[in-house]
Structure 1
Amino acid sequence: MIAQTNTSQTLSRKPSAKDKPRASRKLDSHEITLARLKREGSSVLIATMGGDEVVGKLVDFDRYSIGIRESVTSPTKFVFKSAIQSFEQYIKA
């Protein structure tokens, strides 16, 4: 006896990454400022909890760190946000 399949049933498949909507989260207030500084290509001054200061162009940031580059030829430095005391836009006098 040959089993008859029901053609009205669709096979379930695992959704791919492009099928899923990207999970978005609301940016914190400091991340809104960082996004603006990055978009403008501004330099930032970061003061760390250890008393060091780092000045450079804001390259990237995420939930936990900020990446800045001191010059075009220098490597990107990443600073964990938990180690930052403050940051501000750096304007040369």
Structure 2
Amino acid sequence: MSTDRPPPSGELPDPARLDALLSAAARPSAVDPGAESAAVAAFRASHASGVRTWLTRRRDDWRPRSPWRRAALRAVLGALVAGLTRANRPGSRPSPSRSSRP
């Protein structure tokens, strides 16, 4: 049995092994300073160019939503409900006149 695989269901993992795995995962790995500075320089150059062709998905953007969107939605829904209410009132639709029949 490989030591990298989780234990079968019903068995508890070895506490020493689990501790070693969690310690290794939490320990920061070595970073090449040259690669890090190159990545930061590339990011800053891209950001400074001002060209942004990507769109942020709503689920990726955790900022609070702007209040004008909520107000605009309420206004649209209010106008829709008011229009439907007015259209369904008795007497709001012209009834067919009997004189137009042959």
Q: Aligning the two structures, in what range does the TM-score lie when normalised by the shorter sequence?
A: under 0.3
Specify which structure has the higher proportion of helix. Answer: 2
Specify which structure has the higher proportion of strand. Answer: 1
User: TM-score, normalised on structure 1?
Assistant: 0.23
Q: Which has the higher contact order (CA 8 A, sep 6+)?
A: 1
